[in-house]
Amino acid sequence: MSEPVVKPKIGYYHRHLLVCTGPRCNAEGVPQALFDSLGGKLKAAGLDAGDLRVKRSRVGCFAACKGGPIVCVQPDGTWYYNVTPENMDRIIEQHLRQGQRVDELVFHQAGAPDIET
Ligand code: FES
């Protein structure tokens, strides 16, 4: 007789930040370092708890593979490229805290064609 499947729990969150640390994005470990910095950055911004809590996860590859680090914000469907530490700070403040996209860093918005620059 098999054991019943346990239903997982991850708790409340408002947005989910997905960071690609895949092999074609992870040159010199930059995206991994970006991901590792997020715990402290989100906590400092008050986004580690409460109504605007942000969950973060690493992703193996989004099949985008250019202009990294690449970060996707869900459920907004907003895809950012060139997410340097400074640009991550802008995304945290403007998008995750204030709810406004950082348009100049967006390369794709779900439901719309790719953004050409
Ligand atoms: S390795 Fe990052 S999108 Fe493919």
| Residue 13 beta carbon below 6 angstroms from any ligand 1 atom | no
In the predicted structure, residue 92 carries a pLDDT above the cut 80: yes
How many whole angstroms separate alpha carbon 100 and alpha carbon 15? 13
83 C-alpha to center of ligand 1: Å? 13
Q: Which pLDDT score is estimated for 117? A: 62
Domain ranges of the chain: 15-105
3-state secondary structure of 22: coil
Atom of ligand 1 nearest to the CA of 59: 2
35 C-alpha to center of ligand 1: Å? 14
Mean pLDDT score of the chain: 94
Higher pLDDT, 25 or 107: 107
Residue pointed to by tokens 């914000």: 73
pTM: 0.92
| Residue 31 beta carbon below 6 angstroms from any ligand 1 atom | no
| % of the chain beyond a pLDDT of 90 | 86
- Record: fold of 15-105: Glutaredoxin (3.40.30)
| Residue 22 beta carbon below 6 angstroms from any ligand 1 atom | yes
How many whole angstroms separate alpha carbon 18 and alpha carbon 21? 10
Mutate to test the pocket of ligand 1, among 18, 19, 25 (most ligand atoms within 8 A of CB): 25
Q: How confident is the model at residue 100 (pLDDT cuts 50, 70, 90)?
A: very high
How many whole angstroms separate alpha carbon 26 and alpha carbon 65? 10
Tell me the helices (H) and strands (E) count for the chain, helix number first: 2, 5
How many whole angstroms separate alpha carbon 9 and alpha carbon 55? 13
